[in-house]
Structure 1
């Protein structure tokens, strides 16, 4: 029987499906290539920090950069619009890839592309850190020209003076750049006396008439050199009076709860989430404390989360670290407050776009193979694609009552996870999973063997599948044929590579990007047709 050696219905994954558009993936198996625009989305949202099990960070970054160049050459204005859409709406965990691609647009884009980049520059480069990073990234593509001077000038001159002063004191130095460096290179003409006062303080350290109050407060708190309770109380008064950010507080005063209590009053959401462990360690956040109640109220306020562009990755990273009572770096420890852990759990789901239940039957397959335990999602230390995938699966599990969660590598892996489980429990469960080679066809084969009725299979994977006796698309078609159910397949890409197990020519299959905040809603719309 020659079909044993050559078949379009059951082909080993280390071989190409006859007549298909598959290409060899990094693991030696065969998968479908995603187009340049899909890869642009993956890069903007997932980044390439840490690389993957089969490809180094350098290799992934170079491959993605080449795809970005092709997109810019095809339609640079579309690239700029995509950067602005993903960055400004908070759909990406970090802004770093967007800044990198924007810098590439300034080099490889035509005149229309550069005009478009100028128009949305402030929407993408929102804070001082972004400005410093952009100016560092652009060094890899171009010199200091007129366009760069124009966008830098606009960034400083179009902001109200009090907001610019806040940026100047909070983000004083990043990535080898300071505001003084950029102002001296750009030489913007201040639009009014208030801006002139801010520029004078940045470049010369002088305070003149019209200097915003926050700069005065910054100078006053810097003069506190004693490390005493009295000094901490004085610092707390200055923080409240001038609404000072944490970055201007001398380090020796950050061990006092009264200082953190004053900071918490006007602390931005992102800073609050990052400093939960510190505020707990110094004793400000305790069981049933007022600070704990304040934190819980903010974390569970959907409007505040949306306005602050809090990404689920930021919440997940905080939850993972805070709940274990110790950081991945250093030796400092703390006792987690359970009510804060619960609030972080709620905040994770609230940070995604609202999803209406579809009422369909879902099988959620999480890839727990060895390659999924390597690298970092969005550059978050300790957040492997496998842990991120398990968290993403819970979003749909919380929404859809009729679902099954399964885990697989080269075999099905038992997993005891219900929709009522807290996220920190889910993370611990998946962190201890045994892992092996990758066979992404297993969820469909398992459902067929166990007579599980499913309208849609969702596979969270890096698509580096290679060890199965049948390709995932063939397994899905077999399931359709045997059950009579026109089941769909959604592939959630958890790594910024160019592979997918979804056949682009099959209208019942969809590629989406992991940890895009729009992904769960998009999946539900696809399933509803």
Structure 2
């Protein structure tokens, strides 16, 4: 049995591989191997080429992809391939949907150029969509974009405009394009007497004054007055207490969580520092939480990173400077993060599936670390379990008991700490990956998704997990029953069969793991 190209493509769109294996990475943009999208080649051969773009747009709309680079790379691949003209046209037509943000636009440029033949030009389709991207924005929106994201992935707006040559009759947009390529002085000289260009020229003047401002208090006032973002802040102001005091209330919640470690390193989260009050207000803002769509896993990772920040040492770039011990974490910030973690469970949405999650509770789950983050395996297991218990109607939490899996009574009303303590109470024993599936078959327990969570124990003592799953599907007539194996402390392993669309391996842990499992359970890939 071979895996359908649609399934392989959906896997790639969600986690960057056509095989059923998710490996959390730092999500730095990478280069993909040439044969990473054989699924699209198969769709072209089957005369279903444009279906690839339909899947890309749907994955983007569903919002389950672990990182946009996977979607953007697939779109760029479709746009630059030479086999199917309809696919190329469909990809360029989808550009305005997938690459609406500056980040994704820069990503597309990077990947499209890498996928092009050496010394090849952009072509009409590529130039058209890029020109439309710039010219379809309102002048002030374009000015903000040009100043907020000046360059990414070794490409700048100036580089792109020199290749795309956009032309417009709109005077204000002309002024912004002039600024991007030649700078503010040239834009003011050419458009300073044009009334229509005055708002954007004034905005660009203000941004330039902010970026070159040396007075920290004045910069903070400008940031608050003009609602500048973190990306607008120049490097020399990123160590300013006044600037961060003004900036914290403006940060999206997920961005604030990622910057807590930076604030700790700058020693702005000590005692009753003014930044602390701003951070606490932001973490306790329920409206911001609802708008952010932050997952409990992201909060847990931020919490663990901050809790451990006092045990780390900061090594300055200059070797001659002293290595400093970072300050101990502020108890008020830790308390606010714990409260935020509990609140974030309310954002979870049910999949309607029937789950059995089986947790390894051996001592190693408390002493090791998840690959790619500071979370302990048992903490990750408790979070995965509690997410299901709070979001779903039919969830059975089990632990590997002596001989058979043992039920663990987790309730919807439990806190994360209570769930973690409950799992700690379960006696540890040896485990067999196939045992929970065999137990469910024997007891006639109907399960749509089995989830096994361990640190690195991946043996099937008597029966291989794939064989147990096939037998379960047949015995209980649940042909779409699925199995997810999470080995949290290893970078790589292989339990799932690449040819079985109902199996998934997860190595390590990051903020996207629960969403990947949710998408898999829903049948998104």
TM-score calculated relative to the size of structure 1: 0.70
Conserved 8 A contact 1:156-1:164: yes
Conserved 8 A contact 1:236-1:262: yes
Residues matched between the structures, number:
467
Question: Secondary structure of the residue that 1:275 maps to in structure 2?
Answer: helix
In the alignment, which residue of structure 2 is the partner of 1:422? 416
* 1:82-112 residue CA offsets vs partner (Å, 9 max, x unmatched): 2222224432231111111111101236232
Question: Secondary structure of the residue that 2:125 maps to in structure 1?
Answer: helix
1:269: how far off?
A: 4.0
**2:166 maps to 1:172:** no
Conserved 8 A contact 2:357-2:397: yes
In the alignment, which residue of structure 2 is the partner of 1:318? 302
Question: Secondary structure of the residue that 1:76 maps to in structure 2?
Answer: coil
**2:35 maps to 1:41:** no
1:365 alignment partner, one of 337, 358, 365: 358
* 1:420-471 residue CA offsets vs partner (Å, 9 max, x unmatched): 35289859x89xx9999x953132245578x695545512579997744323
In the alignment, which residue of structure 1 is the partner of 2:220? 236
* 1:14-60 residue CA offsets vs partner (Å, 9 max, x unmatched): xxxxxxx4xxxxxxxxxxx64332222222222259x989xxx9999
Q: Quick one: distance in 2 between partners of 1:300 and 1:86?
A: 27
1:81: how far off?
A: 2.1
1:167: how far off?
A: 1.7
In the alignment, which residue of structure 2 is the partner of 1:29? none
In the alignment, which residue of structure 1 is the partner of 2:319? none
Distance 1:40 1:333, change over 3 A: farther
Distance 1:73 1:464, change over 3 A: farther
**2:311 maps to 1:338:** no
Show the 5 A alignment for 1:134-153: 134-142=108-116, 143=120, 144-153=122-131
In the alignment, which residue of structure 2 is the partner of 1:27? none
2:41 alignment partner, one of 64, 69, 75: 69
* 1:113-150 residue CA offsets vs partner (Å, 9 max, x unmatched): 22322222122113323222221111232232222111
Over aligned residue pairs, what C-alpha RMSD do you find? 5.0
1:182: how far off?
A: 0.4
* 1:208-261 residue CA offsets vs partner (Å, 9 max, x unmatched): 242354422221122223xxxxx2211111101222122332333323333122
Distance 1:213 1:124, change over 3 A: farther
In the alignment, structure 1 segments of 5+ residues that lack a partner are: 1-20, 22-32, 226-230
Conserved 8 A contact 1:312-1:515: no
- With 99-108 and 39-48 compared, the bigger mean Cα shift is at 39-48
In the alignment, which residue of structure 1 is the partner of 2:278? 291
In the alignment, structure 2 segments of 5+ residues that lack a partner are: 316-325, 507-511
Show the 5 A alignment for 1:94-493: 94-108=67-81, 110-142=84-116, 143=120, 144-206=122-184, 207-208=187-188, 209=192, 210=197, 211-225=200-214, 231-279=215-263, 282-283=267-268, 290-298=277-285, 301=288, 303-306=290-293, 314-315=298-299, 317-325=301-309, 332=326, 335=329, 337-346=333-342, 348-349=344-345, 352=348, 354-355=349-350, 362-365=355-358, 391-400=383-392, 403-406=395-398, 418=410, 420-422=414-416, 440-445=433-438, 453=445, 455-460=447-452, 467-476=460-469, 489-492=481-484
TM-score calculated relative to the size of structure 2: 0.70
Distance 1:73 1:368, change over 3 A: farther
1:155: how far off?
A: 1.2
**2:58 maps to 1:85:** yes
Question: Secondary structure of the residue that 1:345 maps to in structure 2?
Answer: helix
Conserved 8 A contact 2:79-2:88: yes
Question: Secondary structure of the residue that 2:305 maps to in structure 1?
Answer: helix
**Higher RCO by CA contacts (8 Å cutoff, separation 6 or greater):** 1
Distance 1:218 1:292, change over 3 A: same
